[in-house]
Amino acid sequence: MRLPLRKPPTPTDNINLGPSANPNAKPTDFDFLKVIGKGSFGKVLLAKRKCDGTFYAVKVLHKKTILKKKEQNHIMAERNVLLKNVKHPFLVGLHYSFQTSEKLYFVLDYVNGGELFFHLQRERCFREPRARFYAAEVASAIGYLHSLNIIYREKLNFFCQGHVVLTDFGLCKEGMEEEETTSTFCGTPEYLAPEVLKKQPYDRTVDWWCLGAVLYEMLFGLPPFYSRDVSQMYDNILHKQLQIQGSKTVAACDILHGLLHKDQKRRLGAKADFLEIKNHVFFSPINWDDLYHKRITPPFNPNVAGPADLRHFDPEFTQEAISASITHTPDLAASSSSTSDAFLGFSYAPTEEDF
């Protein structure tokens, strides 16, 4: 049920928020304006930094929920990956992170062009040139992560400001050398690769399967093996042949079959990783250097009027009232040692020049 529209929250200067583990940042630095996203461990909020009026997306996570689900390693991995993202144009950047006794705060780039699937839901499917443009930028981002020995392992759920921005890194796996495998069962059901469902060791090609699934969904409006019955969908992923209906180019059909090959050793990208992807005929119209430097005009302009323009966010989020608990926390001294120890090293303070 959608909540009624509420007035923006009042400033929180007079609330005792407790000390921050990072002396350079604290919750009272911000006016929290709107909820713009939700996840398993907390929310993402549009926030304006009081000292300079800069807008950020602040991801606020609850420590107790993370610890209860034993997900602290994933959160710390997300923090580590975010710190490496600053060098790539299609990955969301982390400005700094800090914590209080109860919560973790990621201060991130704010992008209000809209989530890919929000636009896709409105338009049902994209034309091939538009889908190719987004897929190329996503592939570039994945290729960069792979060069750092990181696999993404997640539904490619990205925001668009004309250009792609990958935002979710909670399931990333670090230290994945070229021939190394892992076997953790994780991911979004519609996008799980066959080897993950079989609980077999998997490698970097799991990300190229996800790219294929998202490209298919952009072109056809649904994931490639989708069924409302999750058990049936898993069976489809494992055994059903890929169905490509309608008039798509030969190149589009070929790359989908290559990326969505059930045998990870024969999947596109298995031999030369990103190089195989960028050299596929489907991407022949793409100048990769121009793409990286954003010299290609995006096929879609979200036409946002400014940071406060929230038309491309789901009203289910933006109409939700902001709880005082987002900013109010007890003193650090009140937190248990286990809570404090679990997130040692989470806080990141930029240099004075950056800050």
Domain count, the chain: 2
105 shares its domain with 170? no
The reply to whether 349 falls in a domain is no
177 shares its domain with 92? no
pLDDT digits (tens, 9 = 90+) for 133-160: 999 999 999 999 999 888 776 655 556 6
Which residue did the predictor score with more confidence, 7 or 72? 72
The reply to whether 343 falls in a domain is no
Q: Can you tell me the distance from the alpha carbon of 157 to that of 111, in angstroms, rounded to the nearest whole number? A: 13
Helix (H) / strand (E) containing 189: none
Domain extent at residue 55: 27-112+305-336
Please indicate if the annotation marks 103 as binding a ligand: no
Burial 14-24 (b: 16+ CB within 10 A, else e): eeebbebbbee
Q: Can you tell me the distance from the alpha carbon of 333 to that of 138, in angstroms, rounded to the nearest whole number? A: 43
pLDDT digits (tens, 9 = 90+) for 22-43: 666 888 889 999 988 877 788 8
Burial of 254 (0-12, 13-18, 19+ CB in 10 A): middle
pLDDT digits (tens, 9 = 90+) for 59-109: 999 898 899 888 888 888 888 888 876 678 998 888 889 888 888 999 998
183 shares its domain with 36? no
Tokens for 71, please give them.
Answer: 């997900």
The model's pTM is 0.82
Cβ contact 49:28 at 8 Å: no
